[in-house]
Amino acid sequence: MIKNNICLLTDSYKLTHHYFYPKGTEKIYSYLESRVGGEFNKTIFYGLQYILKKYLNGNVVSEEKVLEAEKLVNSHIGEGIFNTDGWLYIANELDGKLPIEIKAVAEGMPVDVGNVLMTVENTDKRCYWLVNYLESLLLQVWYPSTVATLSAEVKKVCNFYLDVTASAKDNLAFMLHDFGYRGATSTESSALCGSAHLLNFSGTDTLTALTIPPNYYNDNNIYGFSVQATEHSVMTSRGQDGEFMQAVNVVKNAKDGILSIVIDSYNYQNFLQNACYSGNELNEVILEFLNNENNKVVFRPDSGDPVSTTIDCLEIIGEGFGVKKTPEGYKVFDSNVGLLWGDGLDYKKIRDVLFAMKNNGWAAENIIFGMGGGLHSLVTRDTQRNAFKCSAQFRNGEWYDIFKKPLDSSKKSKSGRFKLINENGVFKTVKIGGDGEDYLKTVFRDGEILKEYIFSDIKNRASGYICHTIK
């Protein structure tokens, strides 16, 4: 079984590059950025420490792994292609430790797009080829960074509409719930994506996410929480004619706390009328449950148009349980009930729902969102236009600044070696030697992690994201 072989964690074409670089090359310097033109104007950098700990830290190269990789590559692309000598040098002469230095902005830091987030260069002249060999693996930091950014943008828009409608903010940390495990591409991606979401919110059903802080970010605290909830297999147990009998059974057997009930097994309007209006057994048991001031019932429609169905549900619930007004005159449920929309959401649909709620006189505090595939799977590397490019090479005793400048000017790359500074609260990438404190810190060198971050600190840095203006 081939497993955890760093020699194979790259794209096939990179196997050939060690003999393509100019003669005399001793150093390669590359950087990562979110290029201008992505979905959002800032990127929260997150996930590098996970990659370092899981794949790069320590004695990761052995002669056995090198020969294993050589055998596979010989069949895959041809004999004499794989850089056997280069990898054996790392295995035998460098004790299997990767001779590279990685500098990066602190994880959790929101950085204006168009700036360098990470730089990579080799520390051994014989291993110049290794820097961009590792691009395929290191660039995967785009995924948790993009998810963290998307989640932060949702938090920002929720916070905005809470302010506009003069809503209480007690529940802001739970306004977006992660429903994404089943929609993730793998268990690993669910965990990493789920932990990125936890930088901004505290609600999650992705249990795997809870393993990331203790395993990779030096933090044993629990950052994700959930509630008791039904699904359709529960609510349809007694068939359509027995829906309300089963709903009564659910409420009577629920523990104290928050209870989320899916309401669209058949007809959500009919369900809400039975649940919210007096004279129905379901309403009676819900009111009994709510007699405990710490209890709450959340109704969850799971189909239909998010905007129109949300407004319809709010009106029915409000008519049944009553409403009060915020200082700005927006309606809030008078009982400890709420609405959860969790079907087919993305950032724009959440924004549309909140906008429609405002226009129809509803305070934002009445709703919670659940996002699954939209959080885990609808982002790509192009969402924030993440790119890893070589910008300088050292050969024959001299540094050469290099760049690409295609006809598509949006893909023009930077040239030279860089530092990241902050001028009056705005990040700016400048050449090495320029004034200002460098926010790029060395986190990895020669097989060792030199700087580690704690998840709580990362979360605190990410919290500054919502302070920026909604556009």
35-62 residue pLDDT tens:
999 999 999 999 999 999 999 999 999 9
pLDDT of 176 over the 70 cut: yes
Q: Is the pLDDT higher at 289 or at 464?
A: 289
**Which amino acid is it at 218?**
N
> What would the pLDDT profile of 395-439 be if each residue is shown by its tens digit?
999 999 999 999 988 889 999 999 999 998 899 999 998 889 999
Q: How large is the average pLDDT for residues 75-91?
A: 97
What pLDDT shows up at residue 468?
54
- DSSP string of 275-335, one letter each residue: HHSTTSHHHHHHHHHHTSTT-EEEEE--SS-HHHHHHHHHHHHHHHH-EEE-TTS-EEESS
Burial environment of residue 57 by CB neighbours within 10 A (0 to 12, 13 to 18, 19 or more): middle
Instruction: Please say whether the structural domain 6-143+385-461 has been given the CATH code 3.20.140.10.
Output: yes
How far is residue 248's CA from residue 292's CA, in Å, rounded to a whole number?
A: 17
**Which amino acid is it at 270?**
N
Nearest 5°: the CA angle 458, 463, 464 is 110
> What would the pLDDT profile of 272-318 be if each residue is shown by its tens digit?
999 999 999 999 999 999 999 999 999 999 999 999 999 999 999 99
> What would the pLDDT profile of 352-362 be if each residue is shown by its tens digit?
999 999 999 99
Q: What's the mean per-residue pLDDT of the chain? A: 96
In which residue are the tokens 């949300």 written? Answer: 310
What pLDDT shows up at residue 470?
37
Q: Are strands 116-122 and 100-104 parallel, antiparallel or unpaired?
A: antiparallel
In which residue are the tokens 């950087």 written? Answer: 31
Q: How large is the average pLDDT for residues 320-327?
A: 97
What pLDDT shows up at residue 342?
92
Q: How large is the average pLDDT for residues 122-145?
A: 98
What pLDDT shows up at residue 210?
98
pLDDT band with cut points at 50, 70 and 90 for residue 104: very high
What pLDDT shows up at residue 369?
98
Domain ranges across the chain: 6-143+385-461, 146-376
Q: Which CATH architecture has domain 146-376?
A: Alpha-Beta Barrel (3.20)
pTM: 0.96
pLDDT of 3 over the 90 cut: no
Report helix, strand or coil for 84.
Answer: helix
What pLDDT shows up at residue 433?
87
What pLDDT shows up at residue 408?
87
What pLDDT shows up at residue 73?
97
pLDDT band with cut points at 50, 70 and 90 for residue 471: very low
How far is residue 91's CA from residue 66's CA, in Å, rounded to a whole number?
A: 8
pLDDT of 469 over the 50 cut: no
